[in-house]
């Protein structure tokens, strides 16, 4: 099984248990040296899409899932990495209470810029809250422009 670092709506364990039922949540942690941003406004039907970019001094809260091979295609399709080519897989290192873990995440195939819809941003904040993200992280998400 490969380890997937989820950072936006995929932080919601209930959503993921329906979407990739053979892929359990293993831990939560941080992508250190990365920040959450938005881009590809022309791709999304509801504003700009979430992505991560390298940014020294920043962090992104993540949920780490052990993705079973039988769930990989479903996960790729759910983010537009299969067929639409909206996202690509990218190897990263996630920091957990157990140490550093090699993992992969999705990075947008497009330029940073544009605003997400209020609905989409709210879903991301709700997912982060349900995953146990710190209160200040969730509040920063809720205060972002949309």
Which residues are known binding-site members for substrate?
A: 120
CB 79 within 8 A of CB 87: yes
Q: Measured between alpha carbons, how far is 39 from 24 in angstroms, rounded to an integer?
A: 29
Residue indicated by tokens 């920043």: 58
State the CB neighbour count (10 A cutoff) for residue 99. 9
As annotated, the binding site includes 120
Helix H or strand E segment including 107: strand 99-108
**CA quadruple 143, 110, 69, 126: dihedral, nearest 10:** 10
Query: Cα–Cα distance between 136 and 139 in angstroms, integer?
Result: 5
- C-alpha pair distances (Å), 25 with each of 21, 55, 116, 134: 10, 26, 26, 18
């Amino acid at each position: 099984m490969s380890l997937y670092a989820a950072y936006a709506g995929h932080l919601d364990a209930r959503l993921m248990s329906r979407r990739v039922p053979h892929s359990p949540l293993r831990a939560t942690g941080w992508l250190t040296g990365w920040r959450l941003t938005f881009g590809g406004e022309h791709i999304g039907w509801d504003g700009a899409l979430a992505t991560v970019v390298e940014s020294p001094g920043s962090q992104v809260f993540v949920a780490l899932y052990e993705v079973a091979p039988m769930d990989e295609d479903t996960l790729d399709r759910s983010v537009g990495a299969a067929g639409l080519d909206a996202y690509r897989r990218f190897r990263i290192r996630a920091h957990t209470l157990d140490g550093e873990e090699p993992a992969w995440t999705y990075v947008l195939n497009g330029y940073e810029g544009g605003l997400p819809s209020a609905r989409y941003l709210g879903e991301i904040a709700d997912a982060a809250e349900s995953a146990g993200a710190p209160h200040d992280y969730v509040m920063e998400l809720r205060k972002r422009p949309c």
